[in-house]
Structure 1
Amino acid sequence: MQNNQNIPQNANEHCPGANSDQAGKSDACAGCPNQQLCSSGGGKQVLDNSEIIANLKQVKHKILVLSGKGGVGKSTVSSQLAHILASKGFDVGLLDIDICGPSIPRMMGLETSEVHSSNNGWQPIYINENLGVMSIGFLIDNKDEAIIWRGPRKNGLIKQFLTDVAWGELDFLIIDTPPGTSDEHISIVQYLNLTPNDGAVIVTTPQEVSLSDVRKEISFCIKTKTNILGVVENMSGFVCPNCSHHTDIFHPTTGGGLQLCKQYNLQLLGKIPLEPKVLLSAEKGKCIYETAPDSIAAQTYTQIVNSLLETLNEQPKS
């Protein structure tokens, strides 16, 4: 595995960029850890990304799944969106860039899978003929061993995922991200901006402790000019499997996802309840729409996908 010393472009909205004549010299560069590198011209290597451009041109829609908060269900949302899009006939790739906590292999039922190389590069692990998956979880021998990497090594692997993985032609590339607004997020946004991309789906839970972190993620998207396709409120109440009674486990004391969307003029794509059937589907690597099509969660996920397709002017292929 390569250890490319890629230096991400500063997410500050006033950053002149590593390829600018003012790189490392403008007032906005003061205090940046990459100032000396950029002023010497060393940061320009980041923008020499012709392989990424060539690979991403084969992907029609690229969607990030973001949240400033950990534990809100980004990986569950990412995996279910990928499943449902594939069930509608689209060619889908699911990329897991949560380097330190990859959950996608388990949620897709691929824990024992290994990546194989060919003349075209790394081959995604395929659930079926139109749904491929890539994660660092496929590249490590001990699944319980901590991955202790600094930012440049994480960035190098993300770049490899975009250049060395033989995704082929895709209708959708869903990218599951770690919590926060740091190295991985700056890198993936920078790389995706090399070609036209669609933007991000932001995941939150109803309580204020989650919403406060999600607001930071929205700020990140604004500063990096990342389009926000909408917000998903996950764990939006508990639905009893016996009587279907709805109870707010995480009470929306400040209005939840709906109020957040009103505050930032965003679309609320859907409110997914806590249902045991979702957990069972994720544990087994299955699509909730296939295992429990009559569940509220399955109907909500389908509504979310349909809203995204409408926003992106796409029609189901099957």
Structure 2
Amino acid sequence: MGHDHAHSSESNRTRLTLAIGIIGVVLLVEIVGAVVSGSLALLADAGHMLSDLLGLIVALTATIVAARPATDRQTFGYQRAEVFGALINGLILLGVAVFVVIGAVSRLLDPAATEVLGGPMLIVAIIGLVANIGALLLLRPAAAGSINMRGAYLEVLGDALGSVAVIIAATIILLTGFAPADAIASLLIAAMIVPRAVVLLRDVVRVFSESAPADTDVAEIRRHLEETTGVLAVHDVHVWAITSGAHVFSAHIVVEPEVLADGRAGALLDELSACLATHFDVDHSTFQLEPAEHASHGHDHLHP
């Protein structure tokens, strides 16, 4: 598993580096295009792409830091650096959304203040869309297994949708001359940014608060463990995540007297660990085996 994790981290770094290169080049193109065309929507998309670029850089830094080995002080290593990266990404997205909304409302209140050239706006938006699709193809395979990579993927996905909105607005301007379409597209981009930022920040809060992972059924885990031969009861169950895909589990296991008397504790621990790894994707588990008479003391009533 350690080899797989290292290989995955290296692959993620490669994907992020390539995506950073793509987004960085297109960002410059969009900024120039926004200046030439006078399009707020294109500038908003460039701002969103800037947040993508910063977010990808943060994500790349997080994957490098997260790959550092555990120490006596950082006993779980630096895997949670990925969560800090996701937190920064979410805050960047919210900041961009606020900036876009303020600019769009200002233009809607005074639509004649700025001329928008639909031609350059359309060309640059198409370039941006193609680049975002390329970056998405790079990041998608890693998005399911890492909150950090998922944050990067969602940012680029939102930017791709933003490019689509700019293309539609540019087409409307070219065909009808309806300049407010540019500001409306900007508001649509902001509307796409906010939900993604909220979802990302929600996942960060879930990790930092050490809540049970969303896809984990604690009652089901307890039931599986209690069905193991030699186990009488399971209590003081705790499940949390260091980062996405890195679940940690601990519990007190009440066992039959024969398990301890016959020296079968080691075999039982192996069986319980294998159960969690196989059925619930938990690779780091800690169990405290205790005889029934010890558990009956009821020394801890605070935890399930």
Q: TM-score, normalised by structure 1?
A: 0.24
Larger proportion of helix? 2
Computing the radius of gyration over CA atoms, which structure comes out larger, 1 or 2?
2
Larger proportion of strand? 1
Name the structure, 1 or 2, with higher relative contact order (CA <8 Å, separation 6+). 1
Q: TM-score, normalised by structure 2?
A: 0.24
